[in-house]
Structure 1
């Protein structure tokens, strides 16, 4: 388990040294050093070079991530299409990566006024519906919470309370917290070890009424549960 945590931390913070990694994980340096040795011998990480040894992931990790991403896309597409048909809005599929979620697939609305985000864009965990849907199922320190708009939740206690609400109702929402012109609802896709992705319904902020927010929230929660079962 420590080796897996170390691998995740290296991927999120690379290149990273053993001291910084030990502080990040809250583990003794000797424990982290053993985990890094195991990961290096297995070909998952390699030294980044320089006078002080810092570590980064290898192409083996990237190949595995690519294979997993393709499998996730294949499983998600019919679920996303059904969700688009039921809402008439843009559907996003995102995966967690460090302190962000990354957009890997989208199905756009036919409506002329729409939100278009490029594939590969990274959204902050604390300031997006997809991010909060994932963050609600992660046991990690919140760290810094930078403001993106006047609606961004930057107080850790307030965000903890928001994440409790997300878990209770099954979905997260975004009320102009990353960009003031975007509203969204999202639910986490859960695997055996926690969140592997999130699905969202995204609209221009002016189109997301409170009634639609609750309706879309229920639909995206149902869709994410269906994808989790797949």
Structure 2
């Protein structure tokens, strides 16, 4: 049985949705049924939900993109492009800790071979005013795929994220080092450092414009070996 997974990152806008979609596509290629959640989503425009993070996940999961499907995938779709708790506060919405946790748990109980939850922002980003992303992951008791990118400061950010996860006994199944833009450094430099500092964790490269299929299959195979 394929283990469920939470996709988080060392920061924002560095490829969580790309990695999540690649993993879902690879699972479907294996004829597995999949279910994806993006519980909190900032910077959302109702006119462009096809291209939103939740919309991309729905497409990768082979589901129709419409308002009911979006509501099952995302608890709060917030227009301000800010941390979810700040975005919610700005528009007068309350993100309740228990409601968020229950939304995720209900999603994980949906009949499917493989469940994936994509977080918002980085490991230590606030989900609510009292709950960090890492707290949500620990409460759900899910292993993670940690997404990183090779920029100045990325080694420190990655080690901080890993320490935060490990202190809460969260299993890091794999690290994916992405190249979200052509201008971002190639993943190899950060991968070399992580191989030296954390050789026990499988690390994969996701270079700019590389096909998603091979990445998703490599991640799935690693999840199977480490479950």
TM score, norm. by length of structure 1: 0.27
Q: Which has the higher contact order (CA 8 A, sep 6+)?
A: 2
Q: Which has the higher strand share?
A: 1
Question: If you compute each CA radius of gyration, which structure gives the higher value, 1 or 2?
Answer: 1
Q: TM-score, normalized by length of structure 2?
A: 0.27
